[in-house]
Structure 1
Amino acid sequence: MPLDLTLPTPLAYFAALVQQDEGLPLLEAAAALAQDDTPDLDVEQVLEQVDQLADRLNQRISPSADPVERLRAVNQFFFADLGFAGNVNDYYNAKNSYVDVVLHTRRGIPISLAVLWLELGQSAGLKVDGVGFPGHFLVQAKIEDGCVVIDPFTGQSLGRPELHERLEQFQLDRELAHSDATLAQFLQPTPPRQILARMLRNLQDIHRTRRDWPRLVRVQDRLVTLLPEAWAEYRDRGLALAQLGDIERARADLSVYLREAAEAADRDAMAERLSALGGSAD
């Protein structure tokens, strides 16, 4: 029987990576997002580059180092020695979400920087998590009986006052924003699947704003693959496909949305859109 040496498509490769929550390889799946723009990107080479950085970092850490010393070493290496930082001059460039580009330029947005910081933190023996804080992704490391929360965009350690202040920007009720219970809720670890979804939704916003429908459809393909029961992603893909003139696929996606999202507030509007495309909500 002849061997099938055909390489998987970028989407099929991504689908294989995110098939299960257990053992989902965050760094590899995040690096694979760039294949939408660079299909021949060698993701293994990207992973090897990160492994080399991890080796350099761990040569600096004594086997007897405690978590505080390890955290200091990670931050010194990542922010000071390697110079990773936020891309303040071109924040809304899609390339800030591509791990291979961030590795090369040392500039990114909070969540792409966080993915790299988390990988190095784990390699250094720390218990680290991503934190889907409102408006700005953070990371945290467990230290003894507490946690240190870090802004991967700046390298700044954030205490309760700074975190409450940031939370107040997204809470209408100031008292609620300054509640420790509210803060604890927003500091819950974000699982890899949700980190990838947040990365993709950043790209979604960029491509939709620029009316870049082909790129938006590719992002929606990944979101539907990643979150197969997130019905709004089918709607958004259907609307983008309609902009591209791919009417048959657009009708299919909008039909799925109307069938599954029975209580959606925009149901009537989407039914009208489907009808205008020659489809039926029945």
Structure 2
Amino acid sequence: MSDTRLTLPHWDALAELADDALPLLPTALLIARDEYPELDPARYDRLLQAHADHLRVEVEAIAEWPLKVAAINHHLFNELGYSGNHDAYYDPRNSYLNEVVTRRLGNPISLALVQMEVSRRLGLPLEGISFPGHFLVRLPVEEGVLVMDPFNGGRPLSVDELRERARSNLGGETPDDQVLAQILDPAPARAILMRMLRNLYGVYAEREEWDRAARSADRILKLAPEQTEALRDRGLAYLRLQHLAGARADLSQYLRLEPDAADAAQMRERLIDLGGERPQLH
């Protein structure tokens, strides 16, 4: 049974954890608690456990892993109604796991997390794939991997379809077997959580909700302090919020770390406008 006393980690502890020690579900709920301070993590743990418990007898009676995951997908996507939010893809609620479990609507990465978490509780090692475009999941099988699309009901994807999807996100170049295999490598928990936060940053920046955009970038830095793009993004959000000291500090640090970045000249101009000293050119 799941631990009904599930607790969330502290943001300041996450950077020191190895990828394999980073708790995926609790940290995803920690992201959601930023927006929903009264969130009870145990409630969503129990709901996911209920999904797994409903399936346990059926799944344990099935021998083959692909058939087990097909039963899981049928229950999640057909019976429970989890689905990709095609009508409001950029609704931020699609990235908050409490909302996804309650509304049964999400984006590719949040639906993948539900699918992975339920499968894990049933003994299936479903893994995430940071595929270009839409996040996918994979299940190791005897002949390789079974790749599925959680945004579209967990539908299995053929090699040809995977190549075409990758090609459209790789400047029109079709990946060969070696490149495709690299693209299909499993994503560690840190990469999954950072992609979720980047999605939120993009949504909030587009909406000009700069306080939430700054928070999303800040949380990326809590997971991975070396992420210079997040440092820049937080600085730009601070600038929009008129938090000038924070903007100056972040953009200055970004230029110290990335003096040859493609946007370095633009960031130097932003700093000059802020009244900071002209950074030394390299």
- In the superposition, the TM-score normalised over structure 1's length comes to 0.90
Q: Please show how residues 48-197 of structure 1 align to structure 2 within 5 Å.
A: 48-62=46-60, 65-154=63-152, 155-174=154-173, 177-197=174-194
Quickly say closer, same or farther: Cα 1:166–1:211, change in 2 above 3 A: same
Per mean C-alpha deviation after superposition, the further-off stretch among 237-246 and 35-44 is 35-44
Distance 1:273 1:50 in 2: 46
**Is the 2:20–2:189 Cα contact (8 Å) retained in structure 1?**
no
Match of 1:245 in 2: 242
Q: Please show how residues 241-280 of structure 1 align to structure 2 within 5 Å.
A: 241-280=238-277
Matched position secondary structure for 1:223: helix
Q: How far is 1:115 from its partner?
A: 0.5
Matched position secondary structure for 2:22: coil
Distance 2:221 2:97 in 1: 21
Distance 2:23 2:175 in 1: 35
Match of 1:5 in 2: none
Residue type of the partner of 1:187? L
- Once the two structures are aligned, what percentage of the paired residues are identical? 41
Distance 1:170 1:122 in 2: 30
Match of 1:42 in 2: 40
The aligned length equals 271
Runs of 4+ in 1 over 4 A off after TM superposition: none
**Is the 2:95–2:110 Cα contact (8 Å) retained in structure 1?**
yes
Distance 1:163 1:50 in 2: 29
Q: How far is 1:54 from its partner?
A: 1.7
Q: Structure 2 stretches of 5 or more lacking a match?
A: 1-6
Match of 1:4 in 2: none
Distance 1:95 1:199 in 2: 12
Alignment of 1:229 with 2:229, yes or no, is no
Matched position secondary structure for 2:182: helix
Quickly say closer, same or farther: Cα 1:112–1:18, change in 2 above 3 A: farther
Q: How far is 1:60 from its partner?
A: 2.3
Distance 1:133 1:64 in 2: 29
Distance 1:49 1:105 in 2: 12
Matched position secondary structure for 1:33: helix
Q: How far is 1:229 from its partner?
A: 0.6
Q: Structure 1 stretches of 5 or more lacking a match?
A: 1-7
1:226-262 Cα offsets, whole Å, 9 max, x none, are: 1201112111111111111111111111121111112
**Is the 2:62–2:68 Cα contact (8 Å) retained in structure 1?**
no
1:71-110 Cα offsets, whole Å, 9 max, x none, are: 2221122112211110111111000001111101111111
**Is the 1:74–1:124 Cα contact (8 Å) retained in structure 2?**
no
Residue type of the partner of 1:278? G
Match of 1:25 in 2: 23
Residue type of the partner of 2:41? V
1:27-69 Cα offsets, whole Å, 9 max, x none, are: 1111221122212212232222212222222132226733233
Match of 1:3 in 2: none
Per mean C-alpha deviation after superposition, the further-off stretch among 205-214 and 34-43 is 34-43
Per mean C-alpha deviation after superposition, the further-off stretch among 156-165 and 31-40 is 31-40
Quickly say closer, same or farther: Cα 1:45–1:16, change in 2 above 3 A: farther
Distance 2:175 2:218 in 1: 39
Alignment of 1:218 with 2:215, yes or no, is yes
